[in-house]
Amino acid sequence: MDCLGKKLHVKKPTMKRYFIHTFGCQMNVYDSLRMGELLAPMGYCPTPTPEEADLILLNTCSIREKAEDKLLSALGRYRLIKLMRGAWIGVGGCVAQQEKEKLLKKAPFVDFIFGTDAVKKLPEILKALEETGKPIIETAWEEAAHYAFLKAEGETSRGKASEFITIMKGCDNLCAYCVVPHTRGREISRPHEEVLAQAQSLLSVGVRELTLLGQNVNSYAGGISFAELLLRVAKLPGLKRLRFTTSHPRDLSAELVEAFRVEPKIAPHIHLPVQSGSDAVLKRMRRNYTASAYMELLAKLRAARPDIAVTTDIIVGFPGEREADFEKTLELTEKARFDGQFSFVFSARPKTLAALKEEEWGKLPHEVKIERLERLQALQKQISAELFQREIGGVAKVLVEGNSKQNPGRLYGKTPQNRTVNFEGEAKVGELVDIDIIRSSSSALFGKRLGSAHAIEETRAQMPLHSVFQPVS
Ligand code: SAH
Ligand code: SF4
Ligand code: F3S
């Protein structure tokens, strides 16, 4: 039997162990799970520590320079394991796709490089490596007409409350700063029948929340519109919450806003990256919307779903960003009242327009970028803290995900708005529970499970007001 409980295909099985180090976005997390599924029939089982591995895979990200630096330092550590145990090292993902053989020059001890379309070739690559022992580079794009998405095994997700489904790959936008179109290739949508079948298989093993994944889900073209896909997945039995990421503001349709209004299973949260509050910067970024169009979109979403929480991504220090441009980002942040922001300093990426034009548009000194990032993050922290504090004294419906790593002894889960709640009390993974919120920070809520909603009301009525509404330390 392999690690997924299936009959092994190899003749003389020897137990081998693999370790996957995943960098970057949820798409890489998804791909790493598929790598494990491809390795299982070859007799490989996962190990939590690289020191015990016969095969070490790095699934890489090249969105910013820092991500690549992290890869090189991790490779340095794994090289020592290779020297001690003779483990094979394979590098996949976005850096592999972009750097190809150049990566072998930087790290000649790497045994194979496999690009983002080559995940499914992993068994072939390993067999060839066993036979020849020679380095392998496999970074060709799969032809769009024949592109097949790797099917996920339901078993991999047993015991999880929430799971992702990749519904498309690649990106056809050309945002000036972004490396993704180079690392993931052209946009290809997964046929909706396949998405629905995969959703069903995940729900059948007990998953309760699904997140549909794509770099630009609003341009989904798998036979039905994205809004229609959401409405169909939402109807599947067993599903409690449906999420998706990422939406491009330019492509967000009226039909999607309407789906938020009519379908309660679509959770009231949207991640809608704005990138900048300055129209001049947005134009150079090639985002094709203005700050006011973005704010109008938020107003529409909030009218359709008044409890919707919005999170965003922002790049500061884009080439040519003046102080006045940056102040517009601060203004937009104030007005939009985001639940949270992922903000980054601009990093010039190979082959992107912004990297080519950096000098011409005006390269910003590193200190200026950092100083702006700190100002923006301080403002957002204050807004998030205010929004989260408002939840104190209320009851949140939390989908339980597991034990909290940061808060030992507590469980954690998410509210419909995707806010993390750490709580005391008993609950099962995948259960929807009522949690009395008693404390907050700028990134999480803290509470107690007091039993049924009825019991919570009774307890609250008996408590002096200040003990309910005052944060406890
Ligand atoms: N497809 C998503 C973005 C994926 S990348 C979308 O269109 O929204 C995630 C985030 O990384 C981006 O939203 C952007 O804020 C940031 N990012 C991308 N390229 C970057 C770069 N060159 N420098 C700094 N941040 C970058
Ligand atoms: Fe990158 Fe833009 Fe595509 Fe997002 S939409 S992946 S930022 S090119
Ligand atoms: Fe990184 Fe590639 Fe995702 S560059 S953010 S891992 S698509």
d(CA 13, ligand 2 centre) in Å: 43
At residue 44, the pLDDT reads 95
Cβ(313) – ligand 1 distance below 6 Å: yes
What DSSP letter does each residue of 392-422 carry, written as one string? Answer: TTSEEEEEEEEE-SSSTT-EEEE-TT--EEE
At residue 12, the pLDDT reads 55
Q: Give which of 245, 246, 238 is closest to 265, Cα–Cα.
A: 238
pLDDT over 90 at 454, yes or no: no
Task: Say what the pTM is.
Answer: 0.92
At residue 1, the pLDDT reads 73
At residue 455, the pLDDT reads 40
Taking CA atoms only, the protein residue closest to ligand 1 atom 11 is 63
pLDDT band for 451, please (50, 70, 90 cuts).
Answer: low
Q: Considering only 42-51, 59-68, 190-199, 444-453, which range has the smallest mean pLDDT? A: 444-453
Q: What is the average pLDDT across 139-156?
A: 92
At residue 9, the pLDDT reads 62
462 CB contacts (<8 Å, ≥6 apart)? Answer: none
* Beta strands 162-166; 168-169: pairing state: unpaired
pLDDT over 70 at 416, yes or no: yes
pLDDT over 50 at 463, yes or no: no
Q: What is the average pLDDT across 450-472?
A: 38
At residue 382, the pLDDT reads 98
Mean pLDDT of the chain: 92
Cβ-contact 248, 219 below 8 angstroms: yes
At residue 471, the pLDDT reads 29
At residue 462, the pLDDT reads 36
pLDDT digits (tens, 9 = 90+) for 204-224: 999 999 999 999 999 999 999
Top pLDDT among 454 and 319 is at 319
d(CA 172, ligand 3 centre) in Å: 15
d(CA 62, ligand 2 centre) in Å: 13
Cβ(180) – ligand 2 distance below 6 Å: yes
pLDDT band for 16, please (50, 70, 90 cuts).
Answer: very high
Cβ-contact 20, 57 below 8 angstroms: yes
Q: What is the average pLDDT across 55-78?
A: 93
Q: Give which of 174, 150, 175, 178 is closest to 164, Cα–Cα.
A: 150
**Ligand 3 atom closest to Cα of 26?**
3
In whole angstroms, what is the distance from residue 182 CA to residue 166 CA? 18
In whole angstroms, what is the distance from residue 148 CA to residue 444 CA? 39
452 CB contacts (<8 Å, ≥6 apart)? Answer: 434
pLDDT over 50 at 458, yes or no: no
pLDDT over 60 at 464, yes or no: no
At residue 237, the pLDDT reads 97
At residue 183, the pLDDT reads 96
d(CA 313, ligand 1 centre) in Å: 7
Cβ(176) – ligand 1 distance below 6 Å: no
At residue 67, the pLDDT reads 83
pLDDT over 90 at 417, yes or no: yes
pLDDT over 60 at 460, yes or no: no
pLDDT band for 69, please (50, 70, 90 cuts).
Answer: confident
Distances (CA, A) of 211 to 199, 241, 297: 10, 9, 22
Cβ(63) – ligand 1 distance below 6 Å: yes
Q: What is the average pLDDT across 420-442?
A: 96
pLDDT digits (tens, 9 = 90+) for 150-174: 999 999 999 999 999 999 999 999 9
At residue 46, the pLDDT reads 95
Q: Give which of 344, 144, 342 is closest to 246, Cα–Cα.
A: 342
pLDDT band for 456, please (50, 70, 90 cuts).
Answer: very low
Q: Which ligand lies nearest the alpha carbon of 287?
A: 2
At residue 15, the pLDDT reads 84
At residue 42, the pLDDT reads 93
Tokens 């990138």 found at: 275
At residue 11, the pLDDT reads 59
At residue 407, the pLDDT reads 87
d(CA 249, ligand 2 centre) in Å: 11
Q: Give which of 465, 336, 312, 310 is closest to 392, Cα–Cα.
A: 465
Q: What is the average pLDDT across 369-391?
A: 98
Quote the crossing angle between the two packed helices 291-304 and 254-262, to the nearest 10°.
Answer: 30
d(CA 396, ligand 2 centre) in Å: 33
In whole angstroms, what is the distance from residue 104 CA to residue 135 CA? 9
At residue 6, the pLDDT reads 75
